[in-house]
């Protein structure tokens, strides 16, 4: 057992966990943040995607004890005072989800790709969205509406970023 | 904005999913939680000679290690197949025994032999590796071809030659005669590749035993919790129905794989009683690949005959269907009544004969996967039509037009009576949307870039809403295929709809509310949909076979009819008017042509206060209906794929995908289109990417997402979808069903397009770049051997 402390969705948390505890297990079992899902065991499906220190990672492939002091954001932590994140709104607007199981990972990956492309000043085209979704599997939507949702949210997030400047 | 029938209403259920508050089975954790891990056979076929549990039992955190002899000793019954199919000689199917935990013999890699219950998931898994099982390996048959060879090992002693059934449909002599007189015969050998359904949420179960009440609760990933309870009670002897509650909470996709009641759910329930602990099991993906029922896996030889005008005169089909090592719940129906009854396609064919052999092999059991038999039929018919057109030098669309059924009802020679359709209209709509007229120019432009363009059609028909119960019963079904609904109007006028349908992505919480809101003029926010819990909903048959609209919503309509009748009686009484003059609109119950009215909630309140009801009327406002359809429904459509092949690499890109679907009435086009998108992606997966592969020793070579190629975002295009809407005459809303069409219609369109591009018709799925390139090389090679 090792004690690990980190900030999850803005709150300081500390737990004694077995050394082999994965971040996703830490989130789901220790913190009961069950919005982050496990859909495979080979880091392929992306249902477990969360943000660590501002970047999207697959929480099924990261040991919790390796994240001492890290800032972790999960699907439960992206709405702001009850106001949904533009990416969440876009998934509802564009019917970007059906069973909802891959959705948290899709939304976290979507936010990350928009942020990265913005930071690099690159255009997030439809082709780029599809390429960036390489690590996220969906079996329900055929990706059509996920691509549209991310594209729409990217526009809104860019608008917000400009307004903030 | 309208929220009624035809409106693109955003989904009510989305909020919990986009905020991480969905509640799936693995999210459930109860007091006293223990965890199960299964010990599985690494061999495809072996005798179990001994099980030594001592080391596992002594491991840290282990509560119990249980095996198959204990399970059968406690009277837990064998798994059953719920549809009895007879062979052509009249003999019943040869169903081999399937125990939830194997006792003396294992028949596929992944067959469970024991279960470890421990305090943590990790402890259970670690201890499972300490269970020492001794096996004596047996010869293996890993494909239907191997299973039929002379002297092949017997998977089950009571299935000689590994044949479960040798079933037929149609008139063989008449079909042979028609083929003998045909001007042209097209001959096909078609493999329908084996698939793994892969809902993104792995299967999971949480079993809770309450010793005080001798009562069980099972949370599970089910498409049909009531059927699960029925089967667990009536056949597996876990508990009588009134002592067993099954809850299917949010379920992360099904596609057929979550219809069946698997060994793991049975074992967890039994183990919770054995250990006095609540027992939880969640598959990891590797486990899902070796336990979730697979789909398809047909090898078919077919001959279709035409007269000199291109009119089909006969169609003869011989199919070998791999059923895996055991008969899953509906495995017998899928390659028979759900397959061969659609061999007429959209065409007027007077002579059809189908022979289907169901075959045991040492592989995971095979059952219904999205489409279930109908994709196999459609692929066969539509590949054959396209091939025949090429062989006869005809335009493939024109050949189809010459053979379309044009008047309804139409009785096919293979049971089905098609009730309505507009096949030529679907094709017109598809051709216009896909700009088929502009294809030659696009092909020439692609050629100028060194690319090969191809265009392929698929005119599919499917049969959904399997029914009526008496008819399916006469064909061997062990269950009725109706649906139930209860409409509860509360005293404040809000409404709860209790439905036996189950939503695992289909958006029922929205679409079902739409039809209720429209009927009574209420905002859909005032309507809640309750489903997935046997303690709340009295009974239901669940969701599969695109039945929730045509059957599930029809049941709601029937219950609303009863509510409306009572509402009118109450209002007529209170307003002192004739019942015939009462109309319901805009949230009010009015006397037509006057200003007299009651608001909807005032009627609700009146029903429950019961201060002023018509003489003899019972208080309350709650009605139930069980709806049994009069016929199947027949969604149909035309899919057109346009692809571009890189001749250097065989890499195929889908340039354009067009679907013209006729689903009858569409409640919410946004959701219906979403269903087609997802189905089409699965169809593209089957056509180009996916395939379960076993080696000849029965080892699964595609046991993870590293090996089994799931469609990803950059493998698929945007889909163009058009709706033709001929109304289904068989149900009150005129609906046909939309859930499976994409998976049914897509594969032949893709393969027809690729084979058109490369000029070689000999191409099997999945059409990987290597296969496409190889086929292209073969087509381009001069006939050197001749």
Q: How far is A19 from chain B, CA to nearest CA, in Å?
A: 12
Q: Which of residues 394-413 of B touch A (CB under 8 A)?
A: none
Tally of domains in chain A:
2
Rounded to an integer, the average pLDDT of B709-726 is: 97
pLDDT band (50, 70, 90) for residue B782: low
Instruction: State whether A139 and B20 contact (CB < 8 Å).
Output: no
B18 touches chain A (CB under 8 A): yes
**pLDDT tens-digit series, residues B516-525:** 999 999 999 9
Average per-residue pLDDT in chain A? 96
Architecture of B419-452+635-786 per CATH? 2-Layer Sandwich (3.30)
| Nearest residue in chain A measured CA to CA from B15 | A92
The helix or strand, by DSSP H or E, that contains position B114, with its residue range, turns out to be: strand B112-118
- Given a cut of 80, whether residue A165 has pLDDT beyond it is no
| Chain B 161-180, residues with CB within 8 Å of chain A CB atoms | none
Q: Which of A19, A42, A77 is the last residue of a domain?
A: A77
**Alpha-carbon span B124 to B389, nearest angstrom:** 59
Residues 706-725 of B with CB under 8 A from A: 706, 710-714, 716, 718-719
> C-alpha B664: how far from its chain's center?
20
CA B448 from centroid of its chain's CA atoms: 43
Nearest CA among B586, B544, B560 for reference residue B497: B560
pLDDT one-digit tens code per residue, B390-422: 999 999 999 999 999 999 999 999 999 999 999
The reply to whether B142-191+294-407 and B419-452+635-786 are identical in fold is yes
User: Which residue has tokens 């913190």?
Assistant: A31
Instruction: Give B561: exposed, middle or buried? Use CB within 10 Å, 0-12, 13-18, 19+.
Output: middle
Q: In the structure, how many helices (H) and strands (E) does chain A have?
A: 5, 5
How near does any CA of chain A get to the CA of B395, in Å? Answer: 31
Task: Assign a CATH topology to domain B14-129+200-253+258-291.
Answer: Aldehyde Oxidoreductase; domain 3 (3.90.1170)
Given a cut of 50, is residue B785 above it in pLDDT?
no
Question: Max alpha carbon distance in chain B (Å)?
Answer: 95
Q: In the predicted model, is pLDDT for residue B784 greater than 60?
A: no
Which SS3 state, helix, strand or coil, does residue B51 take? strand
Q: Measuring CA to CA, how many Å separate B129 from each of B48, B203, B399?
A: 16, 21, 60
CB contact (8 A) between residue A42 and residue B681:
no
Alpha-carbon distance of B493 to B61, in angstroms, equals: 53
**Which CATH code is given to the segment(s) B482-627?**
3.30.365.10
Q: Which residue of B has its CA nearest to A147?
A: B713
Nearest CA in chain B to A141: B678
User: Does residue A135 share a domain with residue A102?
Assistant: yes
- Regarding predicted confidence, which is higher, B1 or B566? B566
Contact B507, B531 (CB under 8 A): no
Contact B426/B407 with Cβ under 8 angstroms?
Answer: no
Which residues of chain B neighbour A28 with C-beta distances below 8 Å?
Answer: 27
For B142-191+294-407, CATH gives 3.30.365.10
Q: Which residue of A has its CA nearest to B502?
A: A99
Suggest the residue from A130, A144, A148 to mutate for an interface test with chain B (most B CBs closer than 10 A).
A144
Output the pLDDT for position B160: 97
Among A45, A84, A100, whose Cβ lies nearest the Cβ of B22? Answer: A100
Q: Residue A158: what pLDDT?
A: 85
Same domain, A23 and A48: yes
pLDDT in tens, B423-476: 999 999 999 999 999 999 999 999 999 999 999 999 999 999 888 898 899 899
Distances in whole angstroms, Cα of residue B285 to Cα of each of A99, B282, B453, B697, B710: 17, 10, 37, 22, 13
**What are residue B494's phi and psi, to 5 degrees?**
-70, 160
Residue A82 pLDDT > 90, yes or no?
A: no
Domain boundary residue among A77, A109, A124?
Answer: A77
Question: Do residues A63 and A91 both lie within one domain?
Answer: no
pLDDT at B350: 98
Q: How far does A129 lie from chain B, in Å, by closest CA? A: 8
**pLDDT tens, position by position, B57-107:** 999 999 999 999 999 999 999 999 999 999 999 999 999 999 999 999 999
Is residue B567 within 8 A of residue B589, CB to CB? The reply is yes
A71 and A100 belong to one structural domain? no
Q: What integer pLDDT is reported at residue B781 of this predicted model?
A: 74
Contacts B677 to A, Cβ<8 Å? 141-145
Cβ within 8 Å, pair B677-A74: no
Contact B20 A34 (CB under 8 A): yes
Q: Do the beta carbons of residue A45 and residue A103 sit within 8 Å?
A: no
**pLDDT digits 0-9 by tens, B194-229:** 999 999 999 999 999 999 999 999 999 999 999 999
Which residues of chain B make contact with A37, given a CB cutoff of 8 A?
A: 24, 200-201, 252
Residues of A in contact with B37 (CB under 8 A): none
Residues 724-763 (B) with a CB less than 8 A from some CB of A: 742
Bridging pattern class, strands B597-599 and B588-591: antiparallel
pLDDT tens profile B255-286: 999 999 999 999 999 999 999 999 999 999 99
- A95–B671: do the CB atoms touch at under 8 Å? yes
Q: Which of A43, A77, A111 is the last residue of a domain?
A: A77
CB contact under 8 A, B14 and A100: yes
E-strand ranges in B307-434 read: 312-324, 352-360, 410-411, 417-418
Model pLDDT, residue B775: 97
Query: What percent of chain B has a predicted confidence (pLDDT) above 90?
Result: 96
> Which residue of B lies nearest to A40 if distances are taken between CA atoms?
B285
Q: Testing the interface with B: which of A89, A91, A98, A132 to mutate, by most B Cβ within 10 A?
A: A98
* % of chain B with per-residue pLDDT over 70: 99
Contact B681 A47 (CB under 8 A): no
**Model confidence at B123: pLDDT above 90:** yes
Tens digit of each residue's pLDDT (9 = 90 or more) over B489-511: 999 999 999 999 999 999 999 99
B677 touches chain A (CB under 8 A): yes
Please write the tens of the pLDDT for every residue from A93-150. 999 999 999 999 999 999 999 999 999 999 999 999 999 999 999 999 999 999 999 9
Query: What range defines the domain where residue A48 resides?
Result: 2-77
Nearest to B718 among A40, A99, A144 (CB): A144
What is the domain partition of chain B in residue ranges?
A: 14-129+200-253+258-291, 142-191+294-407, 419-452+635-786, 482-627
pLDDT at A159: 81
Specify whether A61 is located in the same domain as A91. Answer: no
CA distance B16 to chain A (A): 9
* Tokens at A82, concatenated: 């009850």
Nearest beta carbon to residue A131 from set B255, B680, B714: B714
| A22 and A71 housed in the same domain | yes
CATH number at residue A96: 1.10.150.120
Q: Kindly state whether B202 is in contact with chain A, defined as any CB-CB distance less than 8 angstroms.
A: yes
Residues A30 and A70 in one domain: yes
Q: Is the pLDDT of residue B783 over 80?
A: no
pLDDT in tens, B571-619: 999 999 999 999 999 899 999 999 999 999 999 999 999 999 999 999 9
The answer to whether the CB atoms of A99 and B200 lie below 8 A apart is yes
Question: pTM for the complete prediction?
Answer: 0.97
Q: Is B245 exposed, middle or buried (0-12, 13-18, 19+ CB in 10 A)?
A: buried
pLDDT at A28: 98
Identify the pLDDT of residue A162. 78
Substitution target in A85, A99, A106 with the highest count of B β-carbons within 10 Å is: A99
Q: What is the mean pLDDT of chain B?
A: 97
Residues of B (284-343) whose Cβ lies below 8 Å from A: 284-286
The 10 Å CB-count burial string (b at 16+, else e) for B668-689 is bebbbbbbbbbbbbbbbbbbbb
């Amino acid at each position: 057992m090792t004690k690990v402390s980190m900030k999850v969705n803005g709150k300081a948390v500390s737990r004694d966990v077995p050394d082999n505890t994965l971040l996703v297990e830490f989130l789901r079992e220790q913190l009961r943040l069950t919005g982050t899902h496990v859909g495979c065991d080979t880091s392929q499906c992306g249902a477990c995607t969360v943000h660590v220190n501002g970047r999207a990672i697959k929480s099924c492939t990261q040991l919790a004890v390796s994240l001492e002091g890290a800032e972790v954001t999960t699907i439960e932590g992206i709405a702001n005072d009850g106001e949904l994140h533009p990416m969440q709104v876009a998934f509802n607007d564009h019917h970007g989800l059906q069973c909802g199981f891959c959705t948290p990972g899709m939304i976290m990956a979507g936010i990350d790709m928009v942020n990265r492309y913005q930071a690099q000043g690159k255009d997030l085209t439809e082709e780029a969205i599809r390429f960036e979704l390489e690590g996220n599997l969906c079996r329900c939507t055929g990706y059509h509406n996920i691509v549209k949702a991310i594209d729409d949210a990217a526009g809104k997030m860019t608008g917000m970023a400009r307004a903030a400047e | 904005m309208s929220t009624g029938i035809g409106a693109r209403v955003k989904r009510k259920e989305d909020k919990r999913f986009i905020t991480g508050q969905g509640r799936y089975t693995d999210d459930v954790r109860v007091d006293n939680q223990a965890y199960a891990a299964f010990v599985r056979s690494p061999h495809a076929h072996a005798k179990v000679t001994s099980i030594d549990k001592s080391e596992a039992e002594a491991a840290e955190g282990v509560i119990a290690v249980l095996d198959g002899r204990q399970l059968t000793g406690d009277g837990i019954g064998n798994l059953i197949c719920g549809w009895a199919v007879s062979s052509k000689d009249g003999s019943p199917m040869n169903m081999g025994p399937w125990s939830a935990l194997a006792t003396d013999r294992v028949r596929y890699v992944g067959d469970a032999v024991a279960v470890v219950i421990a305090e943590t998931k990790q402890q259970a898994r670690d201890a499972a590796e300490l269970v020492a099982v001794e096996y004596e390996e047996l010869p293996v048959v890993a494909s239907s071809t191997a299973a039929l060879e002379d002297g092949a090992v017997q998977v089950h002693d009571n299935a000689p030659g590994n044949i479960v059934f040798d079933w037929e449909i149609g008139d063989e002599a008449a079909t042979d005669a028609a083929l003998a007189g045909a001007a042209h015969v097209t001959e096909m050998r078609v493999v329908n590749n084996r698939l793994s359904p892969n809902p993104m949420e792995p299967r999971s179960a949480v079993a809770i035993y309450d010793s005080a009440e001798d009562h069980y609760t099972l949370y599970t990933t089910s498409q049909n919790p009531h059927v699960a309870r029925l089967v667990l009670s009536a056949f597996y002897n876990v508990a009588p129905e009134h002592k067993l509650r099954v809850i299917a909470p949010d379920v992360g996709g099904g596609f057929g794989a979550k219809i069946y009641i698997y060994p793991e759910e049975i074992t967890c329930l039994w183990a919770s009683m054995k250990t006095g602990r609540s027992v939880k099991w969640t598959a990891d993906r590797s486990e899902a690949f070796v336990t979730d029922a697979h789909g398809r896996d047909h090898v078919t030889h077919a001959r279709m005959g035409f007269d000199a005008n291109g009119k089909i005169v006969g169609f003869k089909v011989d199919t070998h269907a791999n059923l895996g090592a055991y008969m899953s719940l509906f495995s017998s129906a899928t390659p028979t009544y759900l397959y061969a009854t659609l061999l007429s396609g959209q065409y007027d064919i007077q002579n059809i004969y189908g022979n289907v052999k169901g075959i045991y092999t040492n592989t995971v059991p095979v059952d219904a996967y999205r489409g279930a038999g109908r994709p196999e039929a459609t692929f066969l018919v539509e590949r054959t039509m396209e091939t025949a057109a090429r062989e006869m030098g005809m335009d493939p669309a024109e050949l189809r037009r010459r053979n379309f059924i044009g008047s309804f009802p139409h009785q096919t020679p293979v049971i089905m009576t098609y009730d309505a359709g507009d096949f030529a209209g679907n094709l017109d709509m598809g051709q216009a949307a896909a700009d088929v007229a502009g294809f030659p120019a696009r092909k020439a432009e692609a050629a100028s870039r060194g690319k090969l363009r191809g265009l392929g059609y698929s005119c599919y028909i499917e049969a959904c809403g399997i029914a009526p119960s008496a008819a399916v019963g006469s064909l061997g079904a062990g269950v009725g295929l109706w649906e139930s609904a209860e409409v509860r109007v509360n005293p404040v006028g809000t409404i709860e709809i209790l439905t036996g349908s189950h939503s695992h992505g289909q958006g029922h919480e929205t679409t079902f509310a739409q039809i209720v809101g429209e009927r009574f003029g209420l905002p859909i926010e005032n309507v809640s949909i309750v489903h997935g819990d046997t303690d709340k909903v009295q009974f239901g048959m669940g969701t599969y076979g695109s039945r929730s609209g045509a059957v599930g919503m029809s049941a709601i309509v029937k219950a609303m009819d009863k509510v409306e009748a009572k509402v009118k009686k109450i209002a007529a009484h209170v307003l002192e008017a004739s019942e015939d003059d009462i109309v319901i609109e805009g949230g009010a119950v009015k006397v037509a042509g006057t200003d007299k009215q009651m608001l909807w909630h005032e009627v609700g309140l009146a029903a429950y206060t019961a201060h002023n009801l018509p003489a003899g009327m019972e208080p309350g406002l709650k009605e139930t209906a069980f709806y049994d359809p009069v016929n199947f429904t027949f969604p149909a459509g035309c899919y057109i794929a346009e692809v571009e092949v890189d001749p250097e690499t065989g890499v195929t890109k889908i340039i354009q995908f067009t679907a013209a679907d006729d689903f009858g009435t569409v409640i919410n086009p946004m959701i219906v289109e979403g269903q087609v998108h997802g189905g089409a992606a699965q169809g593209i997966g089957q056509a180009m990417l996916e395939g379960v592969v076993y080696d000849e020793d029965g080892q699964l070579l595609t046991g993870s997402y590293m090996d089994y190629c799931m469609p990803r975002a950059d493998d698929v295009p945007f889909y163009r979808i058009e709706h033709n809407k001929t109304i289904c005459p068989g149900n009150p809303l005129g609906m046909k069903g939309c859930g499976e069409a994409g998976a049914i219609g897509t594969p032949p369109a893709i393969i027809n397009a690729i084979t058109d591009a490369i000029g070689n018709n000999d191409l099997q799925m999945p059409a990987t770049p290597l296969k496409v390139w190889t086929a292209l090389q073969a087509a381009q090679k001069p006939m050197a051997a001749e």
